[in-house]
Amino acid sequence: MKIHFAWAVQALVLAVLVHFTPVSYGQEPDNASKLEGIWKWTFTMPDGSQVMPRLELKLMEDGELAGSTRIRAGTEAPITNLTVHGNEVSFQVRRERDGREVVTRYAGIFNSNTIHGKMVSNWNGEDQTYEWDARRLAGVGGVWKWSVAFGGGGFRAESTLTLKQEGERLTGKLSATRAGESEIKKGRFKSGHISFETERERDGETFTNRYSGKLSGDKILGHMELNFFGQPRTNKWEATRMD
C-alpha cells in the first residue's frame, strides 16, 4: 500500500472526515456479524519500515461487535465508536504515549473478505489520511511461533514459521534458534489440518523433520517429528499466531 502524506489533499480529507462523522454508533446486527474475524493490512511508514496491523472483531453476548487492533501480541488497543451500516464500517482507536493521545479513525466498505477505505491519524501532529485495504485472515497464512525446551538448563529453542497459503498449498520458511532458516516442503492445508516438512543438512547428510497439526483459532495444535541427526523424537507442537 502506498502512503500518501498529502497535506495538500484537503478535499479528500474533508470528505473522509465527513464520512467519519458519527451519525450514530449503531451496528446492524446482521451486517455486523459478517465482520467477525481477523482482518489484516500492510502499512509502510515514512522511514520505510513495514508493519502488518490487524483488527480482531468478535460478536459479544449482547450481539454487539467489539474488538481491538494490534501490531503484535501485547499491543492490543480496543476499538471504539464502531458503526456498521450496510456494508460500511467505521471505528476509531485511541492510544496514548508520552502524554500525547493519537486518534486513528478507520472507515471502509466491506465485503466477505476485504475492507477498502481510509484511515485518518494525527500521529505526527496533524491529521493524515491513508488508504486502508484490509483482508480477512483465513487459513494458516501468516507468522507462527513456538518454543521447545532443551536439556535441564532452561534453554528454549524458539521457532518462527512464516507461511503463505495458496489454496491448499503452503510455502514459507521455518527459522529456529541455532538451526538457522529452512524452506518448508510438502506444505498442505486442508480441512483445518496443516502439514509440512523441513530438511536440515549436516556433513552431507539430510535429515527430515515433519510437522502436522490442526488449526484452532490463533493456534496450531499437533505434533512434530524431529530428527536430531539420526535420532528421531516426537514432540507436541503448539504454535501461536504472531501477526
- Decide if 243 contacts 142 (C-beta within 8 A): yes
Those residues whose C-beta lies under 8 Å from the C-beta of residue 91, and which sit 6 or more positions away, are: 79, 80, 81, 82, 83, 105, 106
Q: To the nearest whole angstrom, how small is the minimum distance from the Cβ of residue 48 to another protein?
A: 5
Amino acid in the structure at residue 34: K
Among 12, 17, 43, 64, binds another protein (CB under 8 A): 43
Please count the residues of this chain forming the interface with another protein, following the rule CB under 8 A.
44
Position 50 contacts another protein (CB under 8 A): yes
Position 47 contacts another protein (CB under 8 A): yes
Position 51 contacts another protein (CB under 8 A): yes
Among 166, 168, 181, 199, binds another protein (CB under 8 A): 181
Q: To the nearest whole angstrom, how small is the minimum distance from the Cβ of residue 193 to another protein?
A: 27
Among 39, 91, 110, 130, binds another protein (CB under 8 A): 130
Closer to another protein by CB, 12 or 59: give it.
12
Among 53, 67, 213, 222, binds another protein (CB under 8 A): 53
Residue matched to cell numbers 456494508: 87
Helix/strand/coil for 10: helix
Q: From residue 19, give the alpha-carbon distance in Å to each of 28, 70, 138, 162.
A: 17, 24, 29, 37
Among 30, 201, 206, 231, binds another protein (CB under 8 A): 201
Helix/strand/coil for 139: coil
Tell me how far apart the 2 most distant CA atoms of the chain are, in Å: 68
Helices of type H across the chain: 10-20, 29-35
Instruction: Kindly list the residues in this chain that would bind another protein in the complex (CB under 8 A).
Output: 43, 45-51, 53, 69, 71-72, 74-75, 77, 93, 95, 97-98, 100-102, 104, 119, 121, 123-125, 128, 130, 157-158, 160, 175, 177-181, 201-205
